[in-house]
Amino acid sequence: MSTASGIPDYRDPDGTRRIQPMRIDEFRTSAEARRRYWARSYVGWQNLHRARPNPAHLAVTALQRAGLAGPVITQNVDGLHHAAGTTHITELHGSLSRVVCEACGEVTSRSALDRRMAAANPDFAGTGTQIRPDGDAVLSTLLVDSFRAPLCGCCSADRLRPDVVFFGDVVPRATVDHCFSLVEEAEGLLVLGSSLQVMSGLRFVRRAAKRGLPIVVITRGRTRADELVAVKWEAPLEQALPALAHRLAPDSAAAEARHGLVASL
């Protein structure tokens, strides 16, 4: 969904993982791992913060406002659905816009933390060689070692983490139950841009299939649920979704297209 906004995928179209992300056990048990994460995130956040919704995000909003799409469950952590004006969003894997302290539970905004990290690292000159899908960037070891990792502004613990589900972590049970309830109330399921390689999202498709709901997938490459879908359209979302919205909801699609133009100026 967000690749046309400059945010890369975790996986290639054939489902192969493109990068090896940091796992939650490494992040929690190693101060050096946290330093490495926050140094890379400090650089990568600038790219993520500048990203804007692309035509696919705007098309989802158009379909929703026309009454043709309901609640959205997203595995993305970039907040671009919100920026596009979509409502009733469940962020299955959390959001990079929030930071939580695992020691005291304090929640702060990522923008506020960015200002604190800038003040603590005034001479940090990292630019990164590769922007990654979780909002960080590839940096040299020398640059990482020079970075001062942030501490909690409330309890001063070195336990800050982005409010997202890391690899090896689990989605909160309440979030999973809410998503299952959305599937139970749905008349159909539309899967956009996911290979469904991990159970995190696949389980909702399987529940929809068990209920006998029509399942439509628009993505590039194979998915783990290909045998369950009624219709599969292999196409880039930034092209396919606007075309679909213009056909089904031309007035709403035109309005969102104008909104996207204004937002980009």
> 60-96 burial, b if ≥16 CB within 10 A, otherwise e?
bbbbbbbeebebbbbbbbbbbbbbbbbeebebbbbbb
As a whole number of angstroms, the distance between CA 155 and CA 91 comes to 27
**154 annotated to a ligand binding site:** no
**179 annotated to a ligand binding site:** no
Q: Which residue stretches of the chain are H helix?
A: 24-29, 31-50, 55-65, 80-83, 110-120, 141-145, 173-185, 199-210, 237-248, 250-264
Q: Where is 101: in which H helix or E strand?
A: strand 94-101
> 167-200 burial, b if ≥16 CB within 10 A, otherwise e?
bebebeeebbeebeebbeebeebbbbbbbbbeeb
Residues recognised as catalytic = 93
As a whole number of angstroms, the distance between CA 55 and CA 1 comes to 9
As a whole number of angstroms, the distance between CA 30 and CA 25 comes to 8
Tokens, residue 111 = 């923008």
Structural contact between residues 103 and 110, judged by C-beta atoms closer than 8 angstroms: no
Which residue type is seen at 74?
Answer: T
Q: Which residues pair with residue 192 across a beta bridge?
A: 218
- What residue numbers does the annotated binding site for Zn(2+) cover? 101, 104, 152, 155
- What residue numbers does the annotated binding site cover? 101, 104, 152, 155
